[in-house]
Every structure is written in structure tokens, then in C-alpha cells.
A = this chain, B = another copy of it.
């Protein structure tokens, strides 16, 4: 039997993972990985943290934990597969089963034969078609060199005014990094919210306040039309459809596009990314693809359209699936939840599954809830407030999606929700899981379980919540009466900016029902609407017919509030 020849195009995440795993499974295989760049296997996700100063040597992203550079020689010696850097694949010949590669140093080309081919060509930052995009001091943050030059120029040129174009995950991370570097940061986003496509607008609005509190100047619903430069070719300003913003530093992060040209030219099926089977095979079964160059499918049939979500975590899963399949093991990749998370200053913001906006577009009969509260018992010093938004199907009460935003430990709750969505869990399941409870970690009923309870109650017609957006809309129409059921001290410190508020502490509501008009819509609230919900139930039991509580309480209110003496 002749030796199995495996050729891998791309050396950042999926490529090295495939090669390493396959060499372990098939020590005799002849594995070659080629990469256009001189660097391989680098942690691109760490770039914003180098910019931030979280670590001082960019080598941390290209070296192992003990400081060995992950070079071609490193992989050959430790893992036993060959690596060719500065080598570009220019053409795939599926008939001959060869790939034409070109040395970027010598210019030589040659054909490499394969039995199995793996395409892991990754993605590229989208370059918007606007003037000035090639000016100096305009960065796309995808390569260690980009981060290194940005940091060097901040020091050498004393850059002061940064403009972020795009408010996605990378935009958020870089904005934080540049604020910590003491630059002025304006973040421009053409949609009217941060993290468009990731979060619903109400959750985004809550996170936006925190960005602004940390001096990020948000320019939402504003479109960049061009960049201006000086005679030396350096960027000087960003022109939008509304104004011109001075800038000596521009970082553009408006999305990633799959590098699918090579696959497309070889006649492989693509649709905004290379199409792959569960085993990561392309339309040619001898050619696999994985990582940022492919489109993924959702974990279940909730979403049938392919989803392009380029992530290092998914790329590694693809690599394992590909190596296993080549070695004869069936470990199909089940798909993604669309999970994403970002640290934005003191907030954790993210989602798993689908958003309410997506549920509406998909015509799903859903119900949603926003819950706000502390992530630990209130008596623990480290308890932090955060919001959870949960969306579930009315038909079978399965969890469809969860979003988090706030200072509380949302990452843990996202992971529990991602697990429940993976396994097809219902609201009842999510509330029943025996999660790890102790006061340093969570309240006795975990927030994610509380959220599942309230959403169940809402579907049962027991809890009648309104989102802050809905409350605001009814307040603007002026018909509704707000019932503040907080204690007098709380009411003194902070009030809703509205003229029809009745204040009755929860403990007095039962005795003072006659102060509440029966012919009006009543919206109850407190700090987090736990008492607001109790008040809704008390009023309903007393025969009030149009009562709702405000979801998340005034802590979740992203609009104006009247603070004591301010």
C-alpha cells in the first residue's frame, strides 16, 4: 500500500489542527501544509489584547506557552508533518489530483500531488469600497503585523484620535484597547446599534451605555463615505454621511469574507463560503474544507439558511472532524449555535442561538423575556448586575436563543444556554439542570433558571412583562400609568422621567389598591422588577385587567432617568 498523501492549504487554525490530529491518527501519512504567509499557527484572536497591552511581546501569539516559535521546523520536529511557508496555492487540478503552488520568494511554481486535499484558506477582512482605504495608519486587524505596527505608531507618532469603523466583535475589542491606550475613540456603525446581527436592539442599547460611560464616542446609524489623507499619505479624517471626523488612526472591522476563490475556480460549490457536508467534505469528496473559508449550518432545523460565523473555536472543530474522517473515523460536525461573546470594558456581551429579530424573520411563534439582576447573592461583594434575554418557541418551549449584557458573569450562562440549545432543551430542562451552586458563584436559583421560569410564566399567561422599548412607546403615547413599588428611599434617589407615576411600596399595595386607577393601563416596576412582577400579580388577583411589569426593572432602562439632584 502506498503512503497516503495529504495536502493542506492554509496554516493558521484549521490547517495545523487537521495536520496535527491526522499525524497522531496516521503516523505513516505524508502530510504537507502550505501557507502563503511567513507566520503559521498564530492566535489572531489575541491581536486586540496585544494592542491593549495585556501582554507586551507579540511573540506570545506565535510562540508556544514555553516560548518556542511555532515555525515550520517546530511542526516538523514535534508533530512530524511538513510545512511550506511563503507558498501560495494558485490552482487545484481535481482530475490530476494536484495543486499548483508558487514560492513567493523564488517565484518558482510546481505541482504537488494529493490523495486528500484540505482547504483551510481562512477569511479576509472586508475592504469597503471607499476612497482612502489604502492610506497609511488605516488598519485591518487580522495579522500580528497589523497589531505590532499599530502599537508602534501609537508610541512613535503619538496617535491621538482613533476612529473605529464597525461595531462588531473586533471593533468592540479594539475600541476597548485604544481607550486603555488613552486615545480618543469614535466608533462608527452604519446600523443603529452596536453588534448588529449579533444582539437585539434592546440588549445592544444596554451595552451602548457602558461603552459611552467608558468614553467611546458612538456614531450609530452613520455611514462612512471616505477617508481623507495628507500629502504624506497618512489618514487625517473620516468622512461620513453626516460629518467629517478628524482621525490619525483608523481601524476598519466591518466583517470577514471567506477566501473561497481557489475552491470556486476548481468548481467546488460555494455560497458565501465553501459548502461542506457534516464531515467537512466539499462537493468533491476527496477535498475537505474547514475554518473561516466555509459556511456553517445551525445546530438544528431552526435556521435552515447557512450561517457565516468565522471563529477559531469552530475552525478547530472542523480540523478534528476532517482529520478523523480522513483516518476513517466518523465524527460529523453537528453545526453551530451562532454563539459569540465579547468583553467590553467591565461588561460581558454575547449571544447563543437566535435573536428575537431572527425569530421574527423566521416566522417562529416565540416568546421572549428580559431579566435583570445580580449574578450572585446580593450579600456577596463580587455580585454584579447583568441582563439576560431569552427566546423560546411557544410550540414546544425549546430554547431558541439567549443574549447577555452587563457586568455579571454572562459567559457562564451563555455556555449553559449553548449546551441546552445543542441538546434541544426546553425551558423546563434549563431550569432543572443541577448547576453548581455556592454563594461565590451564583444565587441558589441561577439567573439562567430564573429567566427560564419567568419565560415559562409568561407563556402560561402568569407573568405579563413588557420590554423597556414597549414601555417607552406607551409612555410616549401618554396613556399609561406607571406603578413604582420600590421603597421610599429608592424612589427619592431615582425616578422615571414621566408625569404619571404612582408610588406605593410593594408591602402597601394590597392596602392601597384604591389609589390605583382601574380604567388605565398599569405598568409596575422596581429596580429589577422582581417586586414589579409581584405587584402585577397582586393587581390581577384584585381584578385589575390591564397590568404589566417592566422587564428588567429600571436597571434595564436605557433611556432618561431623573437622579436625585441631577
- Residues in A lying within 8 Å of B, measured CB to CB: 13, 24-25, 27, 43, 45-46, 49-50, 54-55, 60-61, 65-68, 74, 77-80, 169, 173, 299, 311-317, 320, 331, 333-343, 348, 350, 352, 374, 377-381, 409, 411-412, 414-416, 418-420, 422-423, 425, 428-429, 431-442, 444-446, 453, 457, 462, 486-487, 490, 506-508, 510-511, 527, 531, 534, 537-538, 540-541
Contacts and interface: CB of A to CB of B under 8 A. Distances in A.
A412 B414 CA distance: 10
Contacts of A436: 339-341, 350, 352, 411, 414-415, 418
Identical copies of this chain, number: 2
Given A78-B506, A487-B67, A444 B537 contact: no
Nearest to A530: B65
B507 A338 contact: no
A280 to B, nearest CB: 13
Contacts of A422: 429, 432-434
A422 to B, nearest CB: 5
Given A434-B338, A537-B27, A415 B418 contact: no
B537 A68 contact: no
A202 B393 CA distance: 44
Contacts of A487: 66-68
Nearest to A75: B507
B444 A45 contact: yes
A361 B141 CA distance: 54
A256 to B, nearest CB: 15
Contacts of A506: 77-78
A332 B182 CA distance: 55
Given A381-B54, A411-B436, A433-B419, A74 B320 contact: no
Given A55-B379, A316-B444, A418-B435, 16 more contacts: A13-B444, A24-B457, A27-B537, A55-B380, A60-B378, A74-B507, A78-B534, A80-B538, A169-B438, A313-B434, A317-B431, A336-B434, A337-B434, A411-B436, A416-B416, A419-B419
A527 B64 CA distance: 12
Leading 5 A-B pairs by shortest Cβ distance: A27-B541, A60-B379, A423-B423, A419-B419, A341-B436
Nearest to A414: B436
A440 B46 CA distance: 9
A438 B415 CA distance: 12
Nearest to A381: B54
B538 A299 contact: no
Contact of A418 (B315, B411, B434): B434
Nearest to A462: B24
A291 to B, nearest CB: 11
Contact of A313 (B340, B374, B412, B446): B446
Most buried by B among A50, A54, A336: A54
Nearest to A343: B440
A434 B66 contact: no
Contacts of A299: 434
Contacts of A45: 377, 437-439, 444
Given A78-B531, A453-B320, A534-B79, A437 B313 contact: yes
A13 B437 CA distance: 14
Contacts of A350: 436, 438
B435 A380 contact: no
29 contacts: A45-B377, A45-B437, A45-B439, A49-B439, A55-B381, A68-B487, A77-B508, A77-B511, A78-B506, A78-B507, A78-B531, A78-B534, A312-B437, A320-B431, A331-B428, A339-B434, A339-B437, A340-B436, A341-B438, A350-B436, A352-B434, A352-B436, A418-B434, A418-B436, A419-B420, A419-B423, A419-B433, A419-B435, A422-B429
Nearest to A444: B312
Contacts of A317: 431-432, 445
